[in-house]
Structure 1
Amino acid sequence: MKTKENKGYNPQVIADYKKQMQANGQPYIVEEGDDDNNDEYLHFYFIGKDDDGAELVYDAVMYTLRMQHESELFEIAEHKAAQHFPDYKKIAYEEDENGDLSTLDSRQEEIGLYMAEVILDLEEEEAVKVQEHVDMDKHVDFGIALDIGLHVEAITPEVVEKFIDDFNSDNLQLDDTLYSFQTTEEEADH
């Protein structure tokens, strides 16, 4: 989808990104403004070609399947809480003047416990399963957007670089196994 409006196809933009990548010594640039970046999620840009062979910037988010699984469990729990509690509002955690999280009122606590119970039941039943995927969206304003879920422990520079190499050489092999995860006691304590 090469259009004049899509700056991800602009040769000057591509050259600027390549220069930044060379300066960083990596084949990608991390989106520093994304506060969600962590060991299990990364928003980054890399250079590749589209189906027509045109060079462009890919705007990618990559995350672990465990993180996707947890996110889907939470979405289902929120939906069930909204059905179960007519007065349900998303729990908004607020900080006091010391930076500590303020305590929840009894209704919020009841909703939170209900959601935790729903999540544990869903995990026990293995009701939610996820698999490796690369979803592509060509209808964006910048380049092509990629949504990438991989069955890895963490999103490391090595994982990102291997993905880019495999993707750009058309050698990407995705695992089609369906995975379900359990919260460990160690995770639940944090």
Structure 2
Amino acid sequence: MNEGFDPEEIAELKKECEQEGQNYVIVEDEDGMNDSGEFAHFQFVGKHEGKEVIYDAVMGTLRLNHSSLVFEEAETRMKKAYPNYVEIDKRKPNHKIDEDLELMLEEIIEELEEEEVIKVKEFVEVEPDFEYGIGLDVSLNVEEITHEVITKFINEFNAGTLKLDPTLYSFTSEEE
């Protein structure tokens, strides 16, 4: 049974929200992604098919979404051009970094950004078959994921008034 539909779980989350004085609670993720300001994982109570349910949402900025898609595409191109290239998430702890390949990867990323190969727009993906409640994957065109951004999103989502920007955007990474 999906506990996110359980009235007791829902009542518990409502109580936590009340204690925090907001319409959601932040889920502390192990990887510390919440700390970047470009991402948040939170839960809130909403309705689905007329019944209350817990929504488990991850929200990121469009810039973050864009940079991960650019990075994926760059790694795909690296893999094609250099079959011995090992994607970052597949590397073993003792992986020896090849400086030349890393520079090539950076060049591909810059090229993809300059040519605006990847474009992104705001979206909300609903995952009804989620392990806890209903999953939401959200990407919004904001500089930062703040308390105000989350609160406004939940209010509009629950009221059915959420309007997503259909404009396609492309970003360039800020130089360090």
Give the C-alpha shift of residue 109 in structure 1. Answer: 1.2
Partner of 1:61: 58
Cα displacement string for residues 9-52 of structure 1 (whole angstroms, at most 9, x for unaligned residues): 100000111111111111101111342112000010000000x2
Q: Shift in Å at residue 110 of structure 1? A: 1.4
Pick aligned residue for 1:29 from 25, 28, 31: 25
Q: In structure 2, how many angstroms separate the alpha carbons of the residues matched to 1:33 and 1:134? A: 20
Residue 132 of structure 2 is aligned to residue 142 of structure 1: yes
**C-alpha offsets along residues 93-137 of structure 1, whole Å, 9 cap, x if unaligned?**
969xxxxxx9x64xx211111111111111111110000010001
List aligned pairs for 1:80-119, cutoff 5 A: 80-91=77-88, 92=91, 105=97, 108-119=98-109
**CA separation in 1, counterparts of 2:110 and 2:92?**
22
Q: Give the unaligned 5+ runs of structure 1.
A: 96-101
Q: Does 1:6 align with 2:2?
A: yes
* 1:70 correspondence with 2:60: no
TM, length-normalised to structure 1: 0.86
Structure 2 unpaired stretches of 5+: none
Q: Which has the larger radius of gyration?
A: 1
- Cα deviation code 1:134-156 (max 9, x no counterpart): 00010112111000000000000
One-letter identity of the residue aligned with 2:82: F
Kept after mapping to 1: 8 A contact 2:29/2:41? no
Structural RMSD (CA): 1.7
**Kept in 1: contact 2:113–2:171 (CA 8 A):** yes
- Count of equivalent residues: 172
Poorly superposed stretches of 4+, deviation over 3 Å: 91-95
One-letter amino acid matched to 1:17: L
The TM-score with structure 2 as length reference comes to 0.92
What is residue 144 of structure 2 aligned with on the other side? 154
Which amino acid in the other structure matches residue 88 of structure 1? Y
Instruction: Give the 3-state SS of the residue equivalent to 2:33 in structure 1.
Output: coil
The amino acid across from 2:122 in the alignment is: E
Percent sequence identity is 43
